[in-house]
Amino acid sequence: ATRSYEYIQVSEPRPGVGQVTLNRPKALNALSTPLITELNTALRTFQSSPSISAIVLTGSERAFAAGADIKEMAPLTFSQAYTTSFIESWSDLTTALKKPLIAAVSGHALGGGCELALMADILYCTRTANFGQPEIKLGTIPGAGGSQRLTRAVGKAKAMELVLTGKSFSGEEAEKWGVAARVFEGYGELMEGALGTAETIAGYSRVAVQAAKEVVNRSQELGLRDGVEYERRVFHGLFGSRDQKIGMEAFAGKKKAEWSHE
Number of residues engaging ligand HXC in binding (CB under 6 A): 21
Antiparallel, parallel or unpaired: β 101-105 and 122-126: parallel
Give CA–CA dist 132/111, Å, rounded: 6
Query: For ligand HXC, which stretch binds (CB under 6 A), given 60-68, 191-199, 211-219, 231-239?
Result: 60-68
For residue 68, the 8-state DSSP code is B
183 to 202, contacts with ligand HXC by CB under 6 A?
none
Q: In sequence order, what E strands does the chain have? A: 8-14, 17-22, 54-58, 63-65, 101-105, 108-110, 122-126, 130-132, 168-170, 182-184
* Residue 142 in contact with ligand HXC, rule: CB under 6 A: yes
- Segment near ligand HXC (CB under 6 A); pick from 47-55, 94-102, 117-125, 134-142: 134-142
**Cα dihedral sign for 148, 151, 157, 162?**
negative
CA distance 87 to 199: 31
For ligand HXC, give the closer residue by CB, 16 or 142: 142
Binding pattern for the stretch 3-32 against ligand HXC, x by CB under 6 A and - elsewhere:
------------------------xx-x--
Q: By CB under 6 A, is residue 134 in contact with ligand HXC?
A: yes
What is the distance between the alpha carbons of residues 114 and 90, in angstroms, rounded to a whole number? Answer: 13
User: Which one of the listed residues 18, 59, 67, 112 is annotated catalytic?
Assistant: 112
List 17, 20, 22, 87, residue binding ligand HXC (CB under 6 A): 87
12 is catalytic: no
Q: 186 vs 72, 82, 193, CA distance in Å?
A: 32, 41, 11
Binding positions for ligand HXC, rule: CB under 6 A:
27-28, 30, 66-71, 87, 108, 110-112, 115, 134-135, 138, 142-144
